[in-house]
A = this chain, B = another copy of it.
C-alpha cells in the first residue's frame, strides 16, 4: 500500500464544545501522539482563536494538524435545519463539506447534535442500500460496555430501519468494542412472543431471517436486561432510544447529586467521603468512560462522530481513537457488504433516500 492510499484525514469541529476550543485541541494533541504518522488533523473554527491555542501544544505544530478558518459557530440551542442552512460558514458546516468533497475520512464534533444529524443528512449520502442513518451510543454494563442504537436519528423507524440498525451496530461493536460476534437484542416489553407491538413483531421476524452470517441475533430483551450484558448491541427505534438514553443520563446525574448532598450532610460523612474519594472517582469513570467519548452517526458514506458537549480532553482523545479505528478497519466496506446481503434476503420495499 503506498503512502497516499494509507493517509487518514480527520476533520475536527474545534468549536461547539462547552469547555471551549482549548479542551478540544488538548484532546487532539493527546490523540496525535498515539495516532499513525500518516494521520492528518484538519481543525475547523475561528483561526484567531485556534492559532494561539495551537502554540500551546508543540505536537500540533509538527505539520500533521492544520487550522481551517470558519467564521461562524453553530450554537447549542439552534434548530437543526436553521443551524446548518443558515450558517454555511460555521465550523460544523465547512467540516461536513470537507467530508462531502472527500478531503476527510471522518468528522468529530462536540457541537449541537440535532444540527450535526441534519447537516450530515443534507451534506452526505447514506451508504449504498442503507435507508436511514442511526445514532449509536456506548453504555456501561455490569461486566463490559455495550452499544444501543438508534439513539434519536430516526424517530419514525419502520421495522427494516431497525434491522439496518442491528447491522450497523454490530459492525460498530466489532471495531469499537473489539467483539468478534456481537450479540444483538431487540428492546421490547415482555419477551414472550406476541408481546410488544406490531413494529416489534415484524422487526423480530426479519432479524431471525438474517440471523447467522450477517448478525448474531439473540432475540428480544426487556428494559431491565440492557445493563446485564445479555447482548452487546441493543436495537430500538430512535424515539425509544433517545428517551431511554436521556432518562438514563439524567438519572445518573440525579443519583450523583443525591449522593453528593448526603455525603456533605455532616462532618462524619464528609470525613468518610474524603477517605473513599477514590471510589467516587472510579465510579464516575465507569459510568462515563473516557475511552468511548463519541457516538457515531452510522450508515453514512463517511464516519461522523458526535462527542458530548461537555467532553473533556480525554473524551475527545477517546473519540478520535475510535474514529481512527473505524477508518483503519474500513468498517464502511463491511457495512455495505452486510447490507447488500440482508437486502437480498429480506427483499424490502424499494429504497428511498433520507428525506424525512
Residues in A lying within 8 Å of B, measured CB to CB = 79, 114, 140-142, 152, 155-156, 187-190, 192, 195-198, 222-228, 236, 238-240, 242-255, 257-259, 262-263, 265-266, 268-280, 282-283, 286-287
Q: A223-B244, A248-B247, A248-B248 are in contact. Are A258 and B283 (CB under 8 A)?
A: yes
Q: Whole-angstrom distance from the CB of A218 to the nearest CB of chain B? A: 17
Q: A155-B196, A272-B276, A275-B269 are in contact. Are A187 and B243 (CB under 8 A)?
A: yes
User: Contact: A243 with B279, CB < 8 Å?
Assistant: no
Chain A facing B: main interface SS: helix
* B residues near A268, Cβ cutoff 8 Å: 275-276, 278
User: Contact: A239 with B283, CB < 8 Å?
Assistant: no
* B residues near A244, Cβ cutoff 8 Å: 223, 243-244, 247
Q: A155-B196, A223-B247, A272-B274 are in contact. Are A255 and B254 (CB under 8 A)?
A: no
User: Contact: A262 with B282, CB < 8 Å?
Assistant: yes
User: Contact: A243 with B246, CB < 8 Å?
Assistant: no
Q: How far is the CA of A245 from the CA of B244 in the complex (A)?
A: 9
Q: Whole-angstrom distance from the CB of A281 to the nearest CB of chain B? A: 9
Q: A189-B242, A244-B244, A251-B251 are in contact. Are A259 and B272 (CB under 8 A)?
A: no
Q: A152-B189, A240-B239 are in contact. Are A250 and B275 (CB under 8 A)?
A: no
Task: Output the nearest chain B residue to A271 by Cβ-Cβ distance.
Answer: B275
The residue that A195 contacts in the complex, of B142, B155, B248, B277, with Cβ under 8 A, is B155
Task: Output the nearest chain B residue to A195 by Cβ-Cβ distance.
Answer: B155
User: A223, A244, A265, A277 — which one has the most chain B CB atoms within 10 A of its CB?
Assistant: A223
User: Contact: A142 with B257, CB < 8 Å?
Assistant: yes
* B residues near A257, Cβ cutoff 8 Å: 142
Q: Whole-angstrom distance from the CB of A84 to the nearest CB of chain B? A: 15
Q: Whole-angstrom distance from the CB of A151 to the nearest CB of chain B? A: 10
What is the oligomeric copy number?
2
Q: A156-B197, A250-B224 are in contact. Are A283 and B262 (CB under 8 A)?
A: yes
Q: How far is the CA of A245 from the CA of B247 in the complex (A)?
A: 9
Q: Whole-angstrom distance from the CB of A28 to the nearest CB of chain B? A: 28
A-B contact pairs, 10 of them (CB 8 A): A140-B254, A152-B189, A156-B198, A188-B239, A223-B247, A224-B249, A227-B251, A236-B243, A251-B251, A268-B278
Known: A189-B238, A247-B248, A265-B279. 16 other contacts (CB 8 A): A152-B189, A188-B243, A189-B239, A189-B246, A222-B246, A223-B244, A227-B247, A227-B250, A228-B250, A248-B251, A251-B252, A255-B287, A259-B283, A268-B276, A272-B274, A272-B276
Task: Output the nearest chain B residue to A156 by Cβ-Cβ distance.
Answer: B197
User: Contact: A276 with B263, CB < 8 Å?
Assistant: yes
The residue that A250 contacts in the complex, of B223, B246, B269, with Cβ under 8 A, is B223
* B residues near A246, Cβ cutoff 8 Å: 189, 222-224
Q: How far is the CA of A10 from the CA of B227 in the complex (A)?
A: 37
User: Contact: A255 with B283, CB < 8 Å?
Assistant: yes
* B residues near A252, Cβ cutoff 8 Å: 251, 255
User: Contact: B259 with A279, CB < 8 Å?
Assistant: yes
User: Contact: B197 with A155, CB < 8 Å?
Assistant: yes
* B residues near A272, Cβ cutoff 8 Å: 271-277, 279
Q: Whole-angstrom distance from the CB of A232 to the nearest CB of chain B? A: 16
